Amino acid sequence: MRLRKMVTQWTRGAASAACLALCITLAPAAPAQAQTRATLMADQVYVDAAQRLVASGSVEVWHGSVRMTAERVIYDRAGDRLVIEGPIVLNDGPDRMFLADSAELSDGLRNGLIRSARVVLDRQLQIAAASVEREDERLTRMNAVVASSCPVCASNPTPLWEIRAARVTHDQQERQLYFDHAQFRVAGTPVFYLPHLRLPDPTLRRSRGFLTPRLSVRSGLGFGVVAPYFVPIGADRDLTLSPTLYSSGSIVLALRYRQAFANGALEIGGQVSRDRLLPDRARGYAYLRGLFHLRNDFRLEADLMAPSDRRYLDTYGITSDTRIRSHVTLERYRRDQAIRARAVHFYTLDRGVDNTTQPNRLVQAEWEQRIGLGRAGGDLRLRFAGQAFQRVSRSNGPAGRDVGQFSVEAQWRRQMILPGGLLAAGAVQGRLDHVRVGNDRAYSRPVNRGAIEGMVELRWPWAASGDAGASYVVEPIAQVIGSHRNRVRLPNEDHVMPELDPGNLFSFRRFTGFDAPDIGSRANLGLRWARIDPRGLSFEAMAGRIWRRGGYDVFARRNPQPLGQTRSNWLLAGRMWNDRGLSMGLRVLLDDARDPSRGEASVTWNGRATGLSTVYVYLPANRFEGRNTNSAEWYLNVSHQFANGVTARVGWEYDVTRSEFRTARTGLEYRADCVSVDLSLSHRFATSTNVNRSTSFGLQVELLGIGGARATPSGRACQT
């Protein structure tokens, strides 16, 4: 058995000197320690005739989180010289590893030479050098360097990409790598040459310099190249400037300023451009986003955006939305309380809509409190709310109408279990609205509107279990609501598209707005069936309808809608899902003639390699809701990840009624151990409702393992 000798707690010995010297030389980012104490194990440890301390034979040294192995270590205290014979392997924690053939250090172990060294930083970037010279405590020079984050094997010694340089200088203080006479190669082929190149080392997360460039092609603009430049301003803020030059001559400058605070963050940005589309003036947009956590659990959120014209955002691919919603919101949510106040501004990008006649300036405030009544039973909910909106237009009538409203609402609700498993619930609700209308002679006086409602609900769930572990539930539901209100005439501004779905069938109010209250005595009846199988397919279905005592006069009879008049449409809804990522949903509304008045179907599948999301929506013509013809649309997004690291994407928006595509998009992404390539293509077709046609193409190549982009090890091992 081979004899192993151990020497521990050396303060000025060879083991400590060797370990610390290599740490300082190869890993200058590691902090120095006040006391150097190490543990050494070797086959032999002795003092030779020249009074040199020699450790030989499978030498292992530990110093804190650092572990070094070598074949021989010689320390000459008289000459202050250290010789280490390899192969040398040094692990500095889980993120740094160094390999070398031999090393010689002197001058207080601050200077020296390391031969045939290879450094692996953060398990990503590998730097191989013929020699490493330590000149002082700040600079380390590496000669004949090859750097890459790609795996290199004996069977495949050429990495996918690499940077070759005559010399690399590592500045410990600035934490930068400076390449001299750098040559970038792809699969061994030189691509371009740079006399000087600077890259941050992996320990520096925020460094001034250029980010990954991006290429794009857009209709009307041509081929474009964007080169983002990142400027850190301290540890809590930064600025990114992104100049873009298009082949059409358009010049764009985008900027983004970010700042972090102790209680939140702020981002301000935008861009300005000069192009040939509107050559007479500068165009652009600006935005502000912020989120702050204030005292007493309040949260302040802001999201503001303002374009110079309606076409700008779509032309430059910033957003394809037809309406911009800017808001500033102050809110607090607790278990029994909700408070929210916000200011909202809407801006429509559709050129067929006049923004001056839209109610696009809105202020809202809401406070809701839940009070448990204890022995008295049930819960009491109090709600105070106010809102006001304004149009830019000052004309009298609907085009310039302004509305302000204040509401007070109180609701008591209690639930109980009756004999036989019958679930009963009862509620009483009262509401009072004070409404003022401006710039409309038809509503010249303030209006007070009040309503009181009572509700009784019965549910009788029947449950059973199957032999395969599935459980079944059948639940009939009956809800009766009695309502009394004073009939006043008010305009309906904030909700012109009523909906009926499983979530609001048994609700006091089905509208998101306040102008069209869902009141009047009515009975809501439904039946729910469910099959729950944790290891297989699960199903849930519901059918229901609303019957009213009198006609529903909120909407005119010539404008059919799901809530109907004395009877609503039939609601049929269902959902199916399993534990393998598949989910399917269906909602259909049938009128009295059993014809579908509205329909919606969706399928989602998130498999191991394939993802699918598709939605089909059908809406009938309704002038009150702004549709003169029937509308049927199909949305699809599919992605599949192949075994070779390629992910393919395809999607579209298809108008089924007119048999025409609105948009189509596709993309390919290749992600290997050390590189990511993202290629995208989208096209918006000219249709009967949109005469503008546009195409956009994007290409982004990112080298992983440098510049903050982490490599993604595939787990493949080199074949011997």
Render pLDDT for 523-547 as a digit per residue (tens, 0 to 9): 999 999 999 998 889 999 999 999 9
Cα torsion through 208, 213, 218, 223, rounded to 10: 120
Would you state the structure tokens that stand for residue 702, as one six-digit string? Answer: 């990112």
* 281 phi, psi to nearest 5 deg: -150, 160
Residue 153 backbone zone (phi > 0: left; psi -120 to 50: alpha; other: beta): beta
* Digit-coded pLDDT (tens) for 448-507: 999 899 999 999 999 998 877 889 999 999 999 998 888 788 887 777 777 888 888 998
> Rounded CA gap, 150 and 473, in Å?
56
Decide: helix, strand or coil at residue 441. helix
| pLDDT tens string 276-311 | 878 778 899 999 999 999 999 999 999 999 999 988
Please state whether the peptide bond connecting residue 87 to the residue before it is cis, i.e. omega within 30 degrees of 0: yes
Quick one: average pLDDT of 14-29? 46
Task: Show the tokens assigned to 495.
Answer: 């909700």
Residue 405 Cα distances to 367, 438, 494, 692, angstroms: 15, 11, 12, 40
Cβ neighbours, 10 Å, residue 548: 18
Average pLDDT over residues 253-280: 92
pLDDT at 1: 37
- Beta carbons within 10 angstroms of residue 489's beta carbon: 8
Beta bridge partners of 252: 244, 273
pLDDT the model gives residue 491: 84
Contact 20, 109 (CB under 8 A): yes
| Distance between CA atoms of residues 405 and 515, nearest Å | 9
Query: What integer pLDDT is reported at residue 36 of this predicted model?
Result: 52
235: left (phi over 0), alpha (psi -120 to 50) or beta: alpha
Distance of CA 461 to the CA centre of its chain: 40
- pLDDT score for 113: 75
Mean pLDDT over residues 679-704, rounded?
Answer: 80
Q: Are 124 and 147 in contact (CB under 8 A)?
A: no
Across 262-357, the runs of DSSP E, i.e. the strands, are 264-274, 283-293, 299-307, 323-334, 337-348
Q: What pLDDT is stored for residue 689 in this prediction?
A: 60
Q: Which tens digits make up the pLDDT trace of 549-607? A: 876 666 667 767 788 878 889 999 999 999 889 999 999 999 888 888 899 999 999 99
What is the pLDDT averaged over residues 377-395? 93
Query: Is residue 317 helix, strand or coil?
Result: coil
Q: Where are the beta strands (DSSP E) in 439-470?
A: 447-459, 462-465
Place of tokens 């869902």: 518
Q: Which domains does the chain have, with CATH numbers?
A: 5-204 (2.60.450.10)
361's tokens? 């300036």
Give the three-state DSSP class for 498.
coil
The pLDDT value recorded for residue 327 is 97
- Beta carbons within 10 angstroms of residue 134's beta carbon: 26
pLDDT of 153-185, one tens digit each?
767 778 888 899 999 888 878 888 899 999 999
Confidence of residue 712 (pLDDT cuts 50, 70, 90): low
Q: What is the pLDDT of residue 29?
A: 41
pLDDT above 60 for 16: no
As a residue count, the chain comes to 720
Q: What is the pLDDT of residues 93-126, one digit of tens each?
A: 666 677 888 888 665 445 667 788 887 766 677 8
Lowest-confidence pick of 245-254, 360-369, 501-510, 648-657: 501-510
Residue type, 490: L
Residue 348 has pLDDT above 80, yes or no: yes
Q: What is the pLDDT of residue 281?
A: 83
Strands 222-226, 53-63: pairing is: unpaired
Helices of type H across 12-145? 14-26
Query: Do 7 and 45 meet the contact criterion of CB atoms below 8 Å apart?
Result: yes
In this structure, how many other beta carbons lie within 10 angstroms of the beta carbon of residue 419?
5
Cβ-Cβ contacts under 8 Å for 508 (sequence gap 6 or more):
411, 427, 429, 453, 455, 481, 518
By 3-state DSSP, what share of the chain in percent is helix, strand and coil, each rounded to 5?
5, 60, 35
Tokens of 168: 């690399």
According to DSSP, the residues that pair with 612 across neighbouring strands are 605, 638
In this structure, the dihedral spanned by the alpha carbons of residues 557, 560, 565 and 571, taken in order and rounded to 10 degrees, is 180
CB 203 within 8 Å of CB 699: no
Looking at residue 38, what is its pLDDT?
Answer: 65
Q: Which residues lie closer than 8 Å to 116 by C-beta, 6 or more apart?
A: 100, 101, 102, 129, 130, 131
d(CA 146, CA 158): 11
Alpha carbon separation from 527 to 128, 418, 458 (Å, rounded): 71, 19, 12
pLDDT band at 32 (very low <50, low <70, confident <90, very high): very low
* Closest by Cα among 53, 47, 59 to 5: 59
Rounded Cα distance between 21 and 7, Å, is 19
- Is 393's pLDDT higher than 60? yes
